[in-house]
Amino acid sequence: MRIRTRRGRDRGDRGQVALEYIGFVTILLFVGLAAIQLGVAAYAANQAGTGARAAARAASLDEPRAGEPAPGPVAAGTAAVSGWLKPQVAPAGGGGGGVTYTVTIAIPSVIPGLGDGFFGTATRTSTMPKLRPQN
């Protein structure tokens, strides 16, 4: 049997709204973290592509003139990616009139307790033609 208060509400319903609110906020936080994680994964994939293109382009350039610095493909690929992503730049073969480089980035986790790479890696490869093919 429920006891009615002066305002006509049941005393048994006290705290129910707070519990429903806590449950709803938990779901909203989970959906928000999932959306942010998806954005971070897409950003890592985009940065891997940028780094691969920069490395392949640096490797495809002609020999520098006397006194000019030679662009290193690994340094160019690493510099093109945001520093907090820690890219791994490596040559991926190639041959003939082109050079190919691959950049791999461990996708960072926004969820506390899960390390970078828990959600996999983003790997992109780019090939650029050499300006003057070597004979």
Locate 18 and state its tokens. 């707070």
If one compares 111 and 106, the residue with the highest pLDDT of the two is 106
If one compares 36 and 115, the residue with the highest pLDDT of the two is 36
- Nearest CA-CA partner of 123 in 82, 89, 72: 89
Is 0.85 surpassed by the pTM of this model?
no
If one compares 70 and 129, the residue with the highest pLDDT of the two is 129
